[in-house]
Amino acid sequence: MKLLRADEMKEIDRRASSEYLIPSIVLMENAGLRTTEKIVELLGGVCGREIIILVGRGNNGGDGLVIARHLLNAGAQVDVFMCANASQLSGDARINYEIFTKMSGSIYPLQQEADLQRFIMSLIKTDMVVDAVYGIGFRGSLGEFEAQLAKLVNQSKSLVLAVDIPSGLEADTGRVNGEVFKADHTVTFALPKLGMILGKGREYVGQLTVANISIPKALLEDERLKLQMITEEMIKTHFKPRVLETHKGSYGHALIIGGSSGMSGAAVMTSWAALRCGAGLVTLAMPEKIMAAAQLVPEVMSRGLPSTPEGAISSEACPMIENLLGTAAACAIGPGLSRYKDGNEIVRTVLEKAGIPVLIDADGLNALQADIGILKDRQVPVVITPHPGEMSRLTNLSVAEIQHERIETSRYYAREWGVTIVLKGNNTIVAHPSGQVYVNITGNPGMATAGSGDVLSGIITGLIAQGLKPTDAAVAGVFLHGQAGDTAAIHLGQRALTATDLIHNMGRVINELEMKVSQTIRIIEI
């Protein structure tokens, strides 16, 4: 599902009116009507219910006035509180204000301390507060009085529904500055806005409903809209049940290169995850000095490589690595590799000799810190999976700079280096060289644990080995990885979650996807 920035939504509204001749007041009417329908659903009917509508001066306030009219017609007791002067309303919002006043609706001012008593009395007995103060154009922080209103609403026991976006939440970033209206439900229009899933956005929107307000489909599918939220619908087509006439070779061979003394577990988990997500064959190539670790997953094939005295992969292993690359369908390099002198030569060999997609993670990325140009103009697809610290070392940007602009940073360097970037963290980002960016919403803080990234690398590599295009594998992989973490947290809690719990839950997650697309034969006895 595509995600929109505020300026993109405004441009869609403009084009709907200018190119498709849909009057803006029709869009406002549809927005109000769809929101009213949601309110009726949530309250199980509105006849006799007491509902507060907080109205601002912009189009969001106009939406609120449409809602107020429909609720009044449906038999609700509606109290509209104006957080702006009526004289400040213009255009469509002004028209809807005039309509509501002609219907003898209850409208009260709410702009200063003297207005609070009536509002508080209404708040005590209301069934729902509808927040229509600010829309997606909001930036910065609420004014002192508005922040006071938000605090009163947030502290009340009332159900809160936000129109389009909670007032005070920035639509492009998900940032909050001070007090913000915290919604139990948000009805947004046409498509989700980026800030609803980034930053603290998810904490404030509550349950999100995306309402169709009759904007032409072509505008919402415009290829210039480059942001997408990763959803189950997007990835489940990759997980159709397997056909009967197959064998292990039908599902690809993943090669994992990594491991060193003291860090053998990283490569083992990567290979295990590749196997668990469906790869038919997995080979783990690691220093011969630590080969005993490969026995932890007996289904994984292993190959010992010449080792340095410290127990890392020696540059003498490069000819063997080249041979191994010729037997596999996808390769991951880096988990547990360690940071040492020969590391760069090992990674360069893989990038220069591979005729298969390559994923680079962890110390594989650190080995490229002073040699990042090698990523450019590769003849095979490359996926890199940095966390913010690794991305900082690759770009010479600070972690703070990267985290402040995760999407644009990922997009820029994906184009610059010609690779798919998986920037890990809360809302993992997948960026393609074309400029397309995908934002993940699965996962939880319990996944901030050692080895979690190694598991992700194995999942993506295993999916590539099975035939998915590298970017498709990255998109599906981050969703599955997060979903496995969410499933594990249900049973274990977040605090106790470990990386191997993600592997153990991978089968459940994939099986659920397959069951949803399965076309099984049913035998009925009569």
The candidate with the shortest Cα–Cα distance to 177, out of 185, 189, 169, is 169
Angle among Cα 423, 493, 444 to the nearest 5 degrees reads 20
- HEC string of 24-59 equals HHHHHHHHHHHHHHHHHHHHCCCCCCEEEEEECCCH
Q: Tell me, what's the pLDDT at 525?
A: 52
Q: Tell me, what's the pLDDT at 518?
A: 60
DSSP letters, 13-24, are HHHHHHTS---H
By CB neighbour count within 10 A (0-12 exposed, 13-18 middle, 19+ buried), where does 223 fall? exposed
- Can you say how many angstroms the Cα of residue 485 is from the centroid of all Cα atoms in its chain? 14
The candidate with the shortest Cα–Cα distance to 255, out of 214, 220, 302, is 302
Q: What are phi and psi of 189, to 5 degrees?
A: -115, 135
Q: Tell me, what's the pLDDT at 243?
A: 87
Structural domains in the chain, CATH included, are: 6-224 (3.40.50.10260), 234-517 (3.40.1190.20)
With H, G, I as helix, E, B as strand and everything else as coil, classify residue 108.
strand
pLDDT tens sequence across 286-300: 999 999 998 899 999
In sign, the C-alpha dihedral spanning 25, 29, 34, 36 is positive
Q: Tell me, what's the pLDDT at 526?
A: 47
With H, G, I as helix, E, B as strand and everything else as coil, classify residue 301.
strand
Question: Pairing mode, if any, of strands 420-423 and 429-431?
Answer: antiparallel
With H, G, I as helix, E, B as strand and everything else as coil, classify residue 285.
strand
Q: Provide the b/e sequence for 92-106 (b: ≥16 CB within 10 Å).
A: bbbbbbeebeeeebe
How many secondary structure helices (H) and strands (E) does the chain include?
19, 17
Q: Tell me, what's the pLDDT at 377?
A: 84
DSSP letters, 230-268, are --HHHHGGG-PPPPSS--GGGG-EEEEE---TT-HHHHH
Question: Pairing mode, if any, of strands 207-211 and 330-333?
Answer: unpaired
Question: CA 413 to CA 38: how far, in whole Å?
Answer: 42
How far from 254 is each of 224, 276, 421, 501, CA to CA, in Å?
35, 12, 20, 21
Q: Please, which residues bridge with residue 292 across strands?
A: none
347-351-357-358 Cα dihedral, nearest 10 degrees: 20
How far from 471 is each of 230, 317, 413, CA to CA, in Å?
12, 29, 15
The answer for 75, left when phi > 0, alpha when psi is -120 to 50, beta otherwise, is left
CB 384 within 8 A of CB 420: yes
By CB neighbour count within 10 A (0-12 exposed, 13-18 middle, 19+ buried), where does 19 fall? exposed
By CB neighbour count within 10 A (0-12 exposed, 13-18 middle, 19+ buried), where does 217 fall? exposed
As given in the structure block, the two tokens for residue 431 are: 């960026």
pLDDT tens sequence across 238-290: 998 888 889 999 999 999 999 999 999 999 999 999 999 999 999 999 999 99
Q: Tell me, what's the pLDDT at 191?
A: 97
Integer-rounded Cα radius of gyration of the chain: 27
Q: Tell me, what's the pLDDT at 519?
A: 47
Q: pLDDT tens digits for the chain (526 residues)?
A: 999 999 999 999 999 999 999 999 999 999 999 999 999 999 999 999 999 999 999 999 999 999 999 999 999 999 999 999 999 998 999 999 999 999 998 999 999 999 999 999 999 999 999 999 999 999 999 999 999 999 999 999 899 999 999 999 999 999 999 999 999 999 999 999 999 999 899 999 999 999 999 999 999 999 999 999 999 999 998 998 888 889 999 999 999 999 999 999 999 999 999 999 999 999 999 999 999 998 899 999 999 999 999 999 999 999 999 999 999 999 999 999 999 989 999 999 999 999 999 999 999 999 999 899 999 989 999 999 999 999 999 999 999 999 999 999 999 999 999 999 999 999 999 999 999 999 999 999 999 999 999 999 999 999 999 999 999 999 999 999 999 999 999 999 999 999 999 999 999 999 999 887 764 444 445 4
